[in-house]
């Protein structure tokens, strides 16, 4: 049994809490929150862009700490799950590792590659694992795509197009969204999901070419082309903020294999509606295959993510999906694309 301390009880801490309830091999033994109401279990004010709203939570038998140092000193905590704003990741990761805890930290690992390297190095020195909450590969559509790529049933992967666009959150609920020292803007906070996935599926690009719009020093919206040692790989991505609030979120992909094309897209609109183009596998012999991906509960992706963490902690083996090195590479790709937008030229990775 892995005993977990959740640090930060906001939307993501709530989602992680829900996921832990479905993982028998992990148990939340402690929480840390500066909010006294939340330490009493009143999580009713929590809302997000998916999943259920917060409720009253029974914290019987769970230590509710007012200070991070208290959580880190808790001998009944093996893994610290950091659900905190990005600008707090470096300090809290380093302190958690120094305290002898394994760490699961929400993405991004850090806002700069230098700080990512500091965290990865600290984990190595402490003999502990750091996992980064890049949950996207565990969402059913993306997990199924990974499976088909890995098993080679439709031949080699040839490339793909990836999309992740939101309405402007800075005027609604994230005033610091475009602050490079606190959240990092669309590249570091949003596109990092697809940068991580591209790195996972295709390896590390050798060059990026990005065209986009800036808001100050931060990319607001861009289209990017990734080049690889293999010239046959054709990979691109669209990411950023649009100034129309009618569509709050959309993401999707089209991935090309030698014998099939994988297609998926999902969008959320301001009127409360959603549009889904479910995953389809379009085969070279003319079939249209619609895989059964379960009940669509978005919390299930986090359940699979946490199960991966538990397996790696129990076995002592590093995660090939959630490891710090891969998360660091994703941040590097984000900054290289920003550099390409600013300089209006290809940038070597």
DSSP characters for 147-181? HHHHHTTT--EEEEEEEEEEE--TTTT-TTTT-TT
Measured CA to CA, the distance from residue 15 to residue 107 in angstroms comes to 14
Is residue 140 classed as helix, strand or coil in its secondary structure? helix
Q: How far apart are CA 201 and CA 185, in angstroms?
A: 24
* DSSP 8-state symbol, 46: -
The pLDDT value given to residue 295: 84
Query: Does residue 27 contact residue 4 with C-beta atoms inside 8 Å?
Result: yes
pLDDT of residue 232: 93
Task: Pick out the chain residues at pLDDT < 50.
Answer: none
- Give the span between the Cα atoms of 247 and 267, in whole angstroms: 7
Question: Token pair 């509960």 is at which residue?
Answer: 297
pLDDT of residue 171: 75
226: its two tokens: 């990734």
DSSP-derived letter for residue 197 is: H
Tally helices (H) and strands (E) across the chain.
10, 15
Domains of the chain from N-terminus onward: 2-134+303-322 (3.40.50.720), 137-296+329-348 (3.30.360.10)
Run of H or E residues at 64: strand 63-65
Task: Please answer whether residues 320 and 311 qualify as being in contact, where contact means their C-beta atoms are separated by less than 8 angstroms.
Answer: no
d(CA 29, CA 71): 10
pTM (2 decimals)?
0.96
- 137 CB burial (10 A radius; 0-12, 13-18, 19+): buried
């Amino acid at each position: 049994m892995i005993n977990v301390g959740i640090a930060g009880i906001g939307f993501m801490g709530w989602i992680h809490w829900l996921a832990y309830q479905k993982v028998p091999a992990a148990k939340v033994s402690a929480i840390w929150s500066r909010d006294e109401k939340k330490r009493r279990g009143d999580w009713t004010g929590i809302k997000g862009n998916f999943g259920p709203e917060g409720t009253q939570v029974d914290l019987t038998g769970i230590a509710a700490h007012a200070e991070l140092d208290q959580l880190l000193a808790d001998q009944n905590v093996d893994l610290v799950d950091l659900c905190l704003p990005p600008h707090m990741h470096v300090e809290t990761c380093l302190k958690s590792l120094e305290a002898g805890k394994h760490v699961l930290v929400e993405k991004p690992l850090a806002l700069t590659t230098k700080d990512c390297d500091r965290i990865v190095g600290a984990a190595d020195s402490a003999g502990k694992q750091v996992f980064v909450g890049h949950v996207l590969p565990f969402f059913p559509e993306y997990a199924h795509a990974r499976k088909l790529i890995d098993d080679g049933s439709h031949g080699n992967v040839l490339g793909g197009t990836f999309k992740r666009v939101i309405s402007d959150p800075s005027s609604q609920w994230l005033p610091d969204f475009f602050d490079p020292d606190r959240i990092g803007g669309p590249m570091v906070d949003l596109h990092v999901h697809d940068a991580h996935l591209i790195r996972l599926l295709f390896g590390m690009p050798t060059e990026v070419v990005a065209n986009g719009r800036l808001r100050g020093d931060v990319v607001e919206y861009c289209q990017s082309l990734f080049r690889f040692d293999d010239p046959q790989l054709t990979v691109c991505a669209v990411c950023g903020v649009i100034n129309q609030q009618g569509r709050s979120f959309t993401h999707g992909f089209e991935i090309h294999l030698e014998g099939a094309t994988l297609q998926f897209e999902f969008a959320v609109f301001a009127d409360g509606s959603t549009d889904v183009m479910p995953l389809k596998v379009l085969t070279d012999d003319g079939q249209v295959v619609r895989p059964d991906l379960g009940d669509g509960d978005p919390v299930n992706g986090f359940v699979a993510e946490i199960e991966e963490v538990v397996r790696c902690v129990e076995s002592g083996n590093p995660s090939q999906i959630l490891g710090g090195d891969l998360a660091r590479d994703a941040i590097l790709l984000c900054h290289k694309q920003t550099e390409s937008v600013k300089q209006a030229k290809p940038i070597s990775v």
